[in-house]
Amino acid sequence: MSTSISHNFIRSFSSTSSVARTGYSTVHPVHHLVKVKKNALKPSFQEFLIPRDDIRAVGYKPKEIDQDRLMDYYHNTLQSDLMLNMYKHDSKKILGSKLRSWGNDSPFKLYRELKKPKGSLNQTRDINPITFKNIPQLESISIQIYNKDALENPWLNISSRLLLSQITNVKAKQISAKANILPWKLRRGKACGAKVELTGLDMSQFITTLVEIVLPRIRTFQGIRLTSGDKNGNITLGLDPEDVKHFPEVEAFQELFPNLDGLHITLKTNARTDERARTLLSSLGFPFYKPRRNS
């Protein structure tokens, strides 16, 4: 039989500590270490805890203020057409390249870090056949301005932020340089442009303006390049400073925007391939063209 310890056993390195134990703890109590922001619990701050979509909240902004023409058009007309257009009978799921196992013939391979996917460094997505559940849809638009001149004169960035905010109806965020590159005069943290992410009504409004007003008035515009796209259904187009002039917000107040900047517009869709995304965008009124090899 195993011998039992007569007194209360306390795990410790020294044999004496269990014997000479008093009611005193050398471990610091936790409640002094964990900081509690008690001032945030003040009753006058209660209204800041209300979620933003509640009308009582401080930052409440009504969302559905207008008819969304583009989304109505999409749901009433385009969605079923797109489904019919993209449906392929007897099509199977196309598996993307994933991380591979090393095999299980050796215990060393069991917990080894998985092998890189075939043909690419990163994993690629599976492509599902189109059903009524996964009809491609426009998710968001991200627009970016890179202002090189703002690196030397920081006040120039204000006008590009204002330009983007005026065009899109969303307050633009400031972009700052991420690296120190001397010949480009880049310095980490310096402001060098603006960006916005559009969703919902703002997105629809921007698409409408772009397709109906801006793009038709650009003389040299042929369409979006067929080479554009990130293979995941996000398609990018660029606008020159001269093209930005055609936005009605800029055109009406030309003297307020002496320095115009070009835009990088990325149309993000939930189509998993570029081909599907192009079909979707063509249904919204974007033309496409195949660029020549020489140009």
Cβ 87 to another protein shortest distance, Å: 5
- Per-residue buried b or exposed e for 59-89, using 16+ beta carbons within 10 Å of the residue's own CB: eeeeeeeeebebbeebeeebbeebbeebeee
Helix 156-168 vs helix 200-209: crossing angle, to nearest 10: 100
Smallest separation, CB 75 to another protein (Å): 6
Distance CA 164, CA 173 (A): 9
Tell the smallest beta-carbon distance from residue 70 to another protein (Å).
6
* Cβ at position 25, least distance to another protein in Å: 49
Nearer residue to another protein within complex by CB, 115 or 231: 231
Alpha helices in the chain (DSSP H): 15-19, 69-73, 79-86, 107-110, 156-168, 200-209, 215-217, 241-244, 248-251, 274-283
Binding site for another protein (CB under 8 A): 55-56, 58, 60, 64, 69-70, 73, 75, 79-81, 83-90, 131-132, 135, 155, 158-159, 161-162, 165, 171, 208, 211-212, 226, 256, 275-276, 278-279, 282-285, 287-288
Of 235 and 263, CB closest to another protein: 235
Question: Which of 144, 157 has the CB closer to another protein?
Answer: 157
Closer residue to another protein (CB): 165 or 266: 165
